[in-house]
Amino acid sequence: MSDNVIIIRYGEVYLKGKNFSYFENILKDNIRAKLDGIDCSLYFGRGRYVVKEYDISDEDEIIRRLKQVFGLHSLSIAKRCGYDIDEIATKCVEMSPDNGTFRITTHRSYKKYPLDSMQMNRALGEKVIAAKQNLSVDLHSPDYNLQVDIRDGGDVYLYDNSISCAGGMPSGTGGHGLLLLSGGIDSPVAGYMLAKRGMRLTALHFHSYPYTSEAAKDKAITLAHKLKNYCPYLNMKCVSLTKIQETIHKNCKPNYMITLVRRFMMRIAERVAKSNDCGCIINGESLGQVASQTLESITVTNAVVSIPVFRPLIGMDKDEIIDIAQKIDTFNTSIEPFEDCCTVFLPDYPLIKPEIAKVEEQESRIENYNELIDDALSAMEIVELNY
């Protein structure tokens, strides 16, 4: 065990007023679950949490995992010592560089400590200068700023770094949504964005086996696993659209294919949402990206559902979406070349501006459409995801 500790700061949760403890308890549970299997102790103080007593070889892994916990603002790797001023000063000397400019910034949450923050800054600063002739004090823009945190309970933490975390709200505090997860770049990012606001997700993937391969489904499952790093409560379900697509292909005009498939997807999604207590559907649509994402197309697909549909990427450019996909490590999987069910029976000229009356007329050619939906749902698969 080393004398290193990791200081954790939470983000927006602190604005929660009377509901603070509800949000905080979920955040604490999520941190505990995330660090499960790593030998360490967790201390939950007011305003700050601390990971202590871990093996130094686990430090990078602890940080990697904590950066995936929504609700956390930043981390600092710190050295721990006791209240003895000589011990603190020795650590300050060890940590400070040999030349350039520096300052000490003391925070004293333990108010009974005999020296106040200003006195500590001065006393520690003098010891550092005495030990390092080429180092001088600059209070305004120092090259090096050493923070000294005097905490209740006998601990002092010294740190000079801050690592940004994922931000957002703790997973499980923002309702439950059904994410339409394809194998593409956009939908994992859409899920990430709502998960960031605390939403618990269930992922629904559509495939058209055997027109789409097992590998295409596996790709979506891999994406769900990557998303689960951020969404501890993620579940996944898969539904086959094969029969529905064959029926549309046989009965309707080719250029209505995508519009009609998407309306079926939405109807199925609403049924799955309702039976799994999801209050909304989430998809990765971005305005104008493809024919099915014009305002007119979105209007006709949205018309078949009565629960909210969230499209967190609607105003984003592809390169902005890709930046997030890279950050959350889904991009390389998303660009693997496997077919999506939307590409089965793809027409040469999909409708860009579908009209609802004409779409309904095409749909009326499918007599057994409720039966098709029931059959697809009764064959729904549940995918086990590891965390």
Minimal distance, residue 290 CB to Mg ion, in Å: 9
Choosing from 168, 172, 177, 184, the residue that interacts with Mg ion (CB under 5 A) is 184
Which residue sits closest to ligand ATP, CB atoms considered? 184
Looking at 154-162, 216-224, 260-268, 332-340, which segment touches Mg ion (CB under 5 A)? 332-340
Distance CA 254, CA 348 (A): 8
Which CB atom, from 169 or from 185, has the smaller least distance to ligand ATP?
185
CA geometry: angle 257, 262, 266, nearest 5 deg: 150
Interaction of residue 297 with Mg ion, rule CB under 5 A: no
Interaction of residue 248 with ligand ATP, rule CB under 6 A: no
Range list of β-strands (E), the chain: 4-10, 41-44, 48-52, 72-81, 100-108, 135-137, 144-150, 156-159, 163-167, 176-180, 200-207, 235-240, 280-282, 309-310, 381-383
Interaction of residue 182 with Mg ion, rule CB under 5 A: yes
Q: If 0-12 CB within 10 Å is exposed, 13-18 middle and 19+ buried, where does residue 179 land? A: buried
Which residue is associated with the tokens 């925070």?
A: 107
Strand 163-167 to 156-159 pairing: unpaired
Closest to 167 measured CA to CA, from 62, 72, 25, 231? 72
Which CB atom, from 59 or from 186, has the smaller least distance to ligand ATP?
186
Binding mask 197-216 for ligand ATP (x = CB under 6 A): -------xxx----------
CA geometry: angle 166, 168, 172, nearest 5 deg: 110
Interaction of residue 78 with ligand ATP, rule CB under 6 A: no
Binding mask 32-71 for ligand ATP (x = CB under 6 A): ----------------------------------------
Choosing from 4, 292, 294, 333, the residue that interacts with ligand ATP (CB under 6 A) is 292
Interaction of residue 285 with Mg ion, rule CB under 5 A: no
Considering only residues 172 to 201 of the shown chain, the ones binding ligand ATP according to CB under 6 A are: 180-182, 184-187
Interaction of residue 125 with Mg ion, rule CB under 5 A: no
Considering only residues 338 to 357 of the shown chain, the ones binding ligand ATP according to CB under 6 A are: 340-342
| Size, binding site for ligand ATP by CB under 6 A | 20
Interaction of residue 379 with ligand ATP, rule CB under 6 A: no
Choosing from 290, 335, 356, 379, the residue that interacts with ligand ATP (CB under 6 A) is 290
Choosing from 24, 59, 270, 285, the residue that interacts with ligand ATP (CB under 6 A) is 285
* Residue environment code for 82-106, b if the CB has 16+ CB neighbours within 10 A, otherwise e: eeebeebbebbbebbeeeebbbbeb
**Cβ(95)–Cβ(135) under 8 Å?**
no
Could you tell me which residues come within 8 angstroms of residue 20 by beta carbon, excluding any fewer than 6 positions away?
A: 13, 14
Positions in the binding site for ligand ATP (CB under 6 A): 180-182, 184-187, 204-206, 283-285, 289-290, 292-293, 340-342
